[in-house]
Structure 1
Amino acid sequence: MSGSPPPAGFDRERYLRRIGAATPARADLATLGALMRAHLHHVPFENLDVQLGQDPLVTVDEIFDKVVGQRRGGWCYEVNTLFGVLLADLGYAVTRLSGDVRRGGDAIERRGNHLCLRVDLDRPYLVDVGFGGSITAPVAIEPGTGVDGPYAIHLAHVGDDRWTFDEVVGEGASFGFDFTTGAADEGILDAMRSALAREDWSPFVQNLVMQLRRGDTHWTLRGRVLTRLTPQGKTKRLLASADEMAAVGQDIFGVTMPEVERLWRRAADRHDQLFGVG
């Protein structure tokens, strides 16, 4: 990725305006952190296209049009792809990494179900604007624990070139992914992106998800349930209509939700399936 010119449809200044950032004077660690926070503040994680049965976007031009032109968000394959192109265009040394999100212990069976980035400065850093917002600053790829309120984060070396990233809220269970620091096998990423967009076992096919991080506040819409998480605690709200879902999409996540009636019906049916009608 580093050193190659950006695709013809990529417009650096439009992208920076989309995330509310000025053209940086230098490609250093402080700037990288500021760009991550700006991106997370303005561009939500969302899987609305998957919920609507659309083919996943692959090219940078397609993703740019969605995120910048349509002012949408995206999942890791989209937003980390686009963010990586931006960083490379600004002069950062960027490598695409393959991650394996641990869901019920199935990381080995689901290789490549997450795309993240390595950025090399004084040392290699894990950079990720596509994991829903628990990482708001570059994380040095070395064993350690830190606080990125409302999350505690932990990075561990588990052998050879394999690492684990975990996020924890309070006394809750950890959630995270494994990754290797070498360049991703793009064929594995392509195959898993396609499967996650189509297969019944995919959590993205099963559930509508939107997430956004602003400062120490993390918002999640999962189906009908809107959750606000801060270092002080968690609140939840059950949405009651498609109009309410559209308002939440616009007012909290900054997205005009496509085909909101259809998205609402899918979310409501899934809620009934999981929790019963009522």
Structure 2
Amino acid sequence: MNPAQIDAYLRRLGAARPARPTADALRDLHLRHLRTVPFENLSIHLGEEIVLAEERLLEKVVGAGRGGFCYELNGAFSVLLTALGFGVTPLAGRVYGEEGRLGIPYDHLALRVRTVDGDEWLADVGFGAHSHCPLAFGERGEQDDPGGTFRIAEAGPDAAGATGGSGVGGGGRGAGGDLDVLRDGQPQYRLEVRPRLLGDFTAGAWWHSTSPSSHFTQSLVCSRVTEDGGRITLGGRTLTETAADGTRAVRELEHDEEVLGVYRERFGIGLDCVPTVRNRGKINRNG
């Protein structure tokens, strides 16, 4: 990133340039990202190409004011963090689905981030409803967060098996060093600790963008954390506003103008037409 791109990204987040790559700076950027850059899969249903290249991600997130799913959001965030002096390592994850089954390899992209003090954090601005702040990577106890109670645990046997394979390490068991990320006691994804490159996730992004079995092709979602710690989600034409205390208000948007207005006014996304679902199915698990 050049200085102009860094400044533009920080303006998108409403953040000042941190003096040093500290844990406090990371927390601030992480939360601002969740509040301003929505988790969304609109490109899949609008027929837009998804390219996991740094310049293309910056064009979408910063230039076009859009969001994206995990590969795009954490991919773009990694570019910003690296430019600001953080040590960033992309990690591959497999998301837990129905009956505890693991998704495809490279199902999810998360970030291992090192600060100037040598502390390491799990940063993830691309999983939809998840932790609002980075999680201490080496901590194995519970970590309280506005998004829930989280825990990073050593991965045990994968008794339920995995979709498209026998587990990250083969043989139906988590490989040595693999980690499970849990929210309120429920496993969210299994994280492989081997360093990866952004390009390694191309096949996963293609599968999620094209396969009828992918939850991303089965539903529309656009979601972000609100300033009060709640969440606003537009799933197709259903607008759900969840307060920080968990109370929810749900309403159906009848007219296209309403839908486009919510995209524009609540998510900062200007669209010419209302996206339609390519493959109808179950609602997105991260909405």
Q: Do they fold alike, i.e. is TM over 0.5?
A: yes
Identity of aligned residues (%): 32
More deviation, 33-42/184-193: 184-193
**Residues 10 and 64, structure 1, Cα contact 8 Å, conserved in 2:** no
Residue of structure 2 aligned with 1:127, choices 100, 108, 123: 123
Offset at residue 59 of structure 1 (A): 1.4
> Over aligned residues, Cα RMSD in angstroms?
2.5
| Aligned counterparts, 1:18-167, within 5 A | 18-105=12-99, 108-121=102-115, 122-141=118-137, 142-159=139-156, 160-167=176-183
**Residues 53 and 198, structure 1, Cα contact 8 Å, conserved in 2:** no
**How many pairs are equivalent?**
259
1:228 aligns with 2:244: no
Structure 1 stretches lacking a partner, 5+ long: 1-5
The 3-state SS of whatever aligns with 2:98 is coil
Deviations 1:53-73 (A, max 9, x none): 332122111111111111111
Q: Distance in 1 between matches of 2:3 and 2:206?
A: 23
More deviation, 87-96/251-260: 251-260
Q: Distance in 2 between matches of 1:90 and 1:187?
A: 21
Distance change (3 Å), C-alpha of 1:10 and 1:180: farther
Q: Distance in 1 between matches of 2:73 and 2:199?
A: 19
Q: Distance in 2 between matches of 1:161 and 1:10?
A: 39
1:266 aligns with 2:277: yes
Deviations 1:183-225 (A, max 9, x none): 1265652111111111111111111011101241111222222
Q: Distance in 2 between matches of 1:105 and 1:185?
A: 30
Residue of structure 1 aligned with 2:222, choices 210, 233, 239: 210
| Aligned counterparts, 1:248-259, within 5 A | 248-259=262-273
One-letter code aligned to 1:156: A
One-letter code aligned to 2:44: V
Q: Distance in 1 between matches of 2:81 and 2:179?
A: 23
More deviation, 246-255/142-151: 142-151
Question: Between Structure 1 and Structure 2, which shows a larger proportion of strand residues?
Answer: 1
Offset at residue 9 of structure 1 (A): 10
Matched with 1:3 is none
Q: Distance in 1 between matches of 2:207 and 2:218?
A: 13
1:14 aligns with 2:8: yes
The 3-state SS of whatever aligns with 1:266 is coil
The 3-state SS of whatever aligns with 2:277 is helix
Q: Distance in 1 between matches of 2:53 and 2:127?
A: 20
More deviation, 62-71/103-112: 103-112
Question: Between Structure 1 and Structure 2, which shows a larger proportion of helix residues?
Answer: 1
Q: Distance in 2 between matches of 1:110 and 1:136?
A: 25
One-letter code aligned to 1:125: W
Q: Distance in 1 between matches of 2:100 and 2:133?
A: 28
One-letter code aligned to 1:50: I
Q: Distance in 1 between matches of 2:271 and 2:45?
A: 12
Distance change (3 Å), C-alpha of 1:185 and 1:68: closer
Structure 2 stretches lacking a partner, 5+ long: 157-175
